[in-house]
Amino acid sequence: MCNKTCLDFGRRAIEKSDVSGKRIIEIGSRDVNGSFRQIVESFEPAEYIGVDIEAGPGVDTVCSVHDLTARFGKESFDMVISTEMIEHVREWKRAISQIKSILRPEGFLILTTRSKGFPYHDYPSDYWRFEIEDMTRIFSDMSGQMIEPDDSEPGVFVKAKKPATFIENDLRDHALYSMITDRKSADVSPLDVAIFRLKKLFRRLYPEKG
């Protein structure tokens, strides 16, 4: 899913030389209101695979972000794209590790997501908010970073290149703002999520007590 500013970022960040004759994957590719797919395909990649956890427009393969390496193999794509997906993944560190793993050395990552202040959007769940400083830390193991805010609404856009010699960051202790805990958290548990959903249901059923 992409707003206009997100699509504009894709047009600026994705260059023909990044894509032409190369293998591209999009993670979270179900097209609800906008996709980079047309931008990328105009540059004639050798292959473009859209992956999501459920079938739909733009989805070629149903696969969890946590199973990417098992499904496709390490260092198997020249560009990995993920737009407006990572905030919906509870185990985001594991997901980022998978995304980095399937990217070839000298390949590019394109990622967009939401920052604090963007409203809760439960599709299917909504866990995290990422800031510029988070992305700088998360992708400090990559080079040529282009990290910028969404000027239209709270969000952040990233383009980064995987170096030929890659040593993955240890993000175990990195905390993000969580929509579930309403504070910075290194992780949220299934119990945290269950309590959040019960409180949300209670407020909907009894708004006068909320």
How confident is the model over 122-149, as pLDDT tens digits?
878 999 999 999 999 999 999 988 999 9
14 pLDDT band, cuts 50/70/90, is very high
Q: CA 59, CA 35: separation in Å to the nearest integer?
A: 11
**Tokens 């969890």 sit on residue:** 64
Token pair recorded at residue 48: 């473009």
pTM (2 d.p.): 0.92
How confident is the model over 65-81, as pLDDT tens digits?
999 999 999 999 999 99
Q: Indicate if the pLDDT at residue 35 is higher than 70.
A: yes
Q: Indicate if the pLDDT at residue 47 is higher than 90.
A: yes
Cβ-based neighbour number of residue 197 at 10 Å:
13
Percent of the chain with pLDDT over 70: 99
The pLDDT of residue 32 is 76
The pLDDT of residue 174 is 97
Token pair recorded at residue 161: 């290149």
Domains of the chain: 4-173 (3.40.50.150)
Would you state the torsion angle of the CA atoms of residues 92, 93, 94, 99, taken in this order, to the nearest 10 degrees?
A: 90
The pLDDT of residue 102 is 98
The pLDDT of residue 209 is 66
The pLDDT of residue 152 is 94
